[in-house]
Structure 1
Amino acid sequence: MAAWMKPSVDMDKLSYEIFSILETKFLFGCDDDKLGSIAGTPPETPSKPRGSSGKVRILSIDGGGASDGLFAAVSLTRLETSLRRRSGDPSVRIADFFDLASGSGPGGVLAALLFSRGPNGRPLFSAEEALAFLSENLRRISNAVSKKGIFWKRSGIFGRIFGDRTVRDALKPMLIPCHDLETGAGMMFSRADAVEMDGYDFLMKDVCAATCAGDQAVAIRSVDGLTKISAVGAGVGNPTAAAITHVLNNKQEFPRANGVEDLLVLSLGGGRGASPPSKAKLARIAADGAADMANGLRAGKTRAGKVVAAEAALTERNVEVVLFRGSKLSERTNAERLENFAGELIREEERRKWSMEPTVVIKRGSPMV
């Protein structure tokens, strides 16, 4: 997948197919009209027997505002706790159970925190540590590109956290977007590209500033100084679709991923409600199905209040999309949905221990630091 997302007939066709799949098979964020149009529609192709070749596990975090990152971090903290309990390993981290992370805006920062390599070769942050970081630095992340803000200071928050780590140093495949004013095109910071070429490798602290840039342009360069980007945020509106496109086109790292039936997707994000009291979407979970989570974030809450609101949202029951059957009020809370998804991740991890063929073959990047 090229770092610059240039439009083409083939890419447009692929994007259309993926969005069609998301709408008709996984039903991510469908509205009532779309639900009504496909209710009762049978699957076009028979599903692959469970466990036949494994599933690529994708984590996508859709950034909206800085507060959306808090809701995603709360959900991932709950998920990480469940994975530790189920696996019996207290050192487990989110990156251990996902094969690729894709995130935009604050969601990109969260992905970078969870999937960057730490000093011992393990993930840099746990989900709980990432939640604490976002909670403490919410306002500064929102203003990361101000000339008087943290991006321009060597002692800035991104610099202190990531140091000289680059995209290539990520433990696993990672996608973080921005928009490049130099080319007028979307730019995808991709570990797969960074491993292949220095001109596509950037400091992680710069990548985080770029994806959070908003409409304030940030000038950054690749590690070899040859690639210059004038970055603003909002390069990709749907990191889930970008992640699926990347996986299905990257046969070197995902040789057995041929369609959406080979994917296990957790998509966390903050949609935008039409007006206050409408609720933003917290999460969309697809694991042989789909589920919507909603949050009740209101403007004006304190930092601690927003975390409490996110945690409270996990106890709610929301409208659940049932494949080919429309929608109904879920019988499970959002926390129970995450618990169920943790079970899917554990089962896939156990399946791989006995598999003769790898589901994922990650390109070698930087050695442990």
Structure 2
Amino acid sequence: MELSKLTLEIFSKLEHKWLSHCKPNHKTRILSIDGGGTTAIVAGQALIHLEDQIRLRTSDPQAQLADFFDIVAGTGIGAILAAMITAGDAFGRPMYTAREAVRLVSERNSELYKFKSGGVFRRRRKISSRSMDNVLKQLFQRKEDGRLLTLKDTCKPLLIPCFDLKSSAPFVFSRADASESPSFDFELWKSTCSTPSVVDIVLDGVSETIDQMLGNAFCWNRTDYVRIQAFGLGSKAMRKEEVLKERGLESLPFGGKRLLTETNGNRIDSFVQRLVATAKPSPPSSPCKDSAVNSLANGR
């Protein structure tokens, strides 16, 4: 309990310091990418469509997701995608587009999640940490100088929650923490490999609870919150094509659910229209005095 109170106090102070120069009417734009197993089919297709629509709306073929969101968070394989689209190159621009990130994760999925047998009777499947580490190091190595990227090298604030097995307490890899203390400036590949989604989901109660809470919070302005989730999709080959065509599901107050007439693709299109129309300069980035990341003007 004391550790939780201390963590809350630290994050409260960091949040206050980071947002102290923000205008009261500024809306913080958050992109959260769930794990979704080991394939990230749903998240991947949603991210690609989101970035394509942003480029179409802005008539800017170089626009990327990091340009239009203030904070990016992710868990499991979603953490890998979140880190890839925010990892900065030597010029302070994102190293990967959404399409490039999804393609690389898909192509190297068998290496990222290479299973091996374990246990007394070798019935328990384990992920080969060596194989995953090698792939992640390659993904988060800067091409210009070959340096392994750290949390301070991201273009936008990045959050990756995980669970500390030693203290039995939640822990968050954060660029804000990295800027405050070098001891928290973890290498990106280490941050993303800490939350692999290798357990089959039996009951998705946590995400439903969170979705209900967020749905209630945005009940007066539902256009500010969009959740993309797939239900009952068929074969893997079909899923990629059907993700955006599937009808969306909306959370209602008091735990209710409603099947929408809009598809997931339609919802993303509407959200992008609002996102681009209300695009403003991002909040001041976390103070990274020693970082090579340059300040981006007008959210770019």
Global fold match (TM > 0.5):
yes
Q: Secondary structure at the match of 2:191?
A: helix
| Aligned equivalent of 1:367, options 278, 292, 297 | 292
Aligned to 1:44: none
Structure 1 position 193 matched with structure 2 position 209: no
What is residue 207 of structure 1 aligned with on the other side? 191
Contact in 2 for aligned 1:172/1:362 (Cα 8 Å): yes
Residue in 2 aligned with 1:335?
A: 265
Consecutive unaligned residues of structure 2, counting only runs of 5 or more, are 9-22, 116-126, 142-147, 200-205, 295-300
Aligned CA distance change for structure 1 residues 321 and 150 (closer, same or farther; 3 Å): closer
3-state DSSP class of the match of 2:159? strand
Q: 1:327 Cα shift?
A: 4.7
Task: Please tell me whether the aligned partners of residues 226 and 267 of structure 2 are also in contact (alpha carbons under 8 angstroms).
Answer: no
SS of 2:186 mapped into structure 1: coil
* Alignment partner of 2:240 out of 276, 288, 310: 310
Instruction: Give SS of 2:162's match.
Output: strand
**Deviation of residue 329 (structure 1)?**
3.5
Number of the residue aligned with 1:162: 140
**How far did residue 139 of structure 1 move?**
2.5
Aligned counterpart, 1:287: 223
Residue 89 of structure 1 aligns with an amino acid whose one-letter code is D
Distance 1:9 1:132 in 2: 40
Letter in 2 for 1:125: Y
Paired amino acid for 2:71? L
Q: Match of 1:98?
A: 69
RMSD value, Cα: 3.4
Of 93, 96, 117, the match for 1:122: 93
Q: Secondary structure of the residue that 2:262 maps to in structure 1?
A: coil
Q: 1:181-260 maps to which residues of 2 (within 5 A)?
A: 181-212=165-196
What secondary structure does 2:179 align onto? Answer: helix
Cα deviation, residue 178, structure 1? 2.0
Alpha carbons 2:77, 2:197 under 8 Å: kept: no
Contact 1:290 1:321 in 2 (8 A): no
Could you tell me which amino acid in structure 2 is paired with residue 161 of structure 1?
A: L
Change (3 A) 1:189 1:52: closer
Are residues 213 and 320 of structure 1, via their aligned partners in 2, closer, same or farther at CA, if it must alter by over 3 Å?
closer
Amino acid across the alignment from 1:109: I
1:66 aligns to 2:38 (yes or no): yes
1:179 pairs with 153, 160, 163, which one? 163
CA distance in 1, matches of 2:173, 2:258: 38
Q: Decide whether aligned partners of structure 1 residues 199 and 289 sit closer, same or farther in structure 2, where only a CA change above 3 A counts.
A: closer
Pick closer, same or farther for the CA change 1:328–1:177 going to 2, 3 Å. Answer: closer
In structure 1, the residue matched to 2:121 is none
In 2, distance between residues paired with 1:339 and 1:196? 38
* Structure 1 residue 326: Cα displacement: 5.4
TM-score by structure 1 length? 0.59
Counterpart position of 2:110: 139
SS of the aligned residue for 1:158 comes to helix
The separation in 2 between residues aligned to 1:9 and 1:73, in whole angstroms, is 36
8 Å CA contact retained: 1:291, 1:321: no
Change (3 A) 1:165 1:10: closer
For the pair 1:8 / 2:33, whether they are aligned, the reply is no
| Cα distance, 1:324–1:132 mapped onto 2, change above 3 Å | same
Give the Å deviation of 1:149.
2.1
Q: What is the CA–CA distance in structure 2 between the aligned matches of 1:122 and 1:323, rounded to whole Å?
A: 40
Report matched runs for 1:72-111 at 5 Å: 72-111=43-82
**1:120 Cα deviation from its structure 2 partner:** 2.9
> Displacement of 1:321 after TM fit?
4.0
Distance (Å, rounded) in 1 between the aligned partners of 2:169 and 2:255: 39
DSSP 3-state at the match of 1:74: helix
Contact 1:100–1:173 under 8 Å retained in 2: yes
- 2:138 aligned partner, one-letter code: R
Deviation at 1:90, TM superposition (A): 0.5
Q: Is the 8 A contact 2:38 2:197 kept in 1?
A: no
**Count of matched residue pairs:** 248
CA drift of 1:130 comes to 1.1
Pick closer, same or farther for the CA change 1:209–1:92 going to 2, 3 Å: same
C-alpha separation in 2, matches of 1:325 and 1:157: 41
Q: Which amino acid aligns with 1:194?
A: A
CA contact (8 A) 2:247 2:261 kept: yes
1:264-298 deviations in Å (ceiling 9; x for gaps): 9xxxxxxxxxxxxxxxxxxxxx5345556424445
